[in-house]
Amino acid sequence: MTTTLTALTWLYVPGDRPGTVAKALRSAADVVIVDLEDAVAPDRKEYARSATAELLAEPPRVPVHVRVNALGTPYAEADIRALAGLPGLSALRLPKVTDPSEVRHTAHRMPDVPLYALLESALGIEQAHAIASAHPCLRGIALGEADLRADLGVRDDAGLAWPRSRVVVAARAAGLEPPAQSVYPDIRDLEGLAASCARGRALGFLGRTALHPRQLPVIERAFLPTPREIEEAEETVKAAAADGGALALPDGRFVDAAVVTAAHRTLILASRGAGN
């Protein structure tokens, strides 16, 4: 089972809380991310690992990704051994990636499992494109902004403007789908979440990871196209189909292959919204 371009909501849940995981699987999340890393205390790692392996012995109702512990920690090897070959595993998320060799190493160990790399340090950002293009199994990259803030010593969003743009550009340059935004940590501030999503969408992000189910509808609304965007996309696709090449629309917009591709993506997202 794999995720698609229209996945917009990705819900993190601690791997050592099976009851919470079960609730997450019944939520509106497009993808549930079972976390074996930061959300799990060291003395709970083994339990979280075994509970997750039991969960993924059969395919669940929605795609499940697992964030394993960082390569180089005492827990990562055990995580990979426990998860290898499980039919319910949709993807692995690799935290704190700083070098493309980490992606290649994991792909060698689990060749049929889609991988996502999380960039959480200055070195990871500097290596963004090399990591994004490291292996065909890699399906996406994203930021881990809490650790990145600490590594860079920044306190507000202004200090993350360049890393955010960097990860969007690196993903596109490597032929990957647009990255999802990092979590918004205040689960009560839904207005702030919506505003943050709007800024992320303007930068080129698509969808967002979440910490609580109440954040999911806000994220989805923020990344679905507006009626005006849908109308423009329909006009673009229709004009391109009729002409077959670059052309100018009556409203002055110039249409080429890249614009048509973006319009198709908008209509895919619009069809998702219409189905809700």
- The verdict on 16 and 73 lying in the same domain is yes
- The verdict on 235 and 114 lying in the same domain is no
- The verdict on 137 and 261 lying in the same domain is no
Which pLDDT does position 276 carry in this prediction? 55
d(CA 272, CA 36): 31
120 is in an annotated binding site: yes
- The verdict on 112 and 180 lying in the same domain is yes
- The verdict on 53 and 91 lying in the same domain is yes
Structural domain tally of the chain?
Answer: 2
Domain with 239, as residue range(s), is: 227-274
Among 171, 116, 119, CA closest to 146:
119
Contacts of 210 (CB under 8 A, 6+ apart): 9, 10, 11, 12, 29, 183, 184, 216, 219
pLDDT(92) > 50: yes
* pLDDT tier at 6, thresholds 50, 70, 90: confident
188 is in an annotated binding site: no
201 is in an annotated binding site: no
- The verdict on 205 and 255 lying in the same domain is no
Per-residue pLDDT of 16-66, as tens digits, reads 999 999 999 999 999 999 999 999 999 999 999 999 999 999 999 999 999
Residues in the chain: 276
Enumerate the β-bridge partners of residue 209.
Answer: 10
- The verdict on 138 and 245 lying in the same domain is no
- The verdict on 46 and 69 lying in the same domain is yes
- The verdict on 182 and 116 lying in the same domain is yes
- The verdict on 138 and 260 lying in the same domain is no
* CATH of residue 106: 3.20.20.60
- Read off the pTM: 0.90
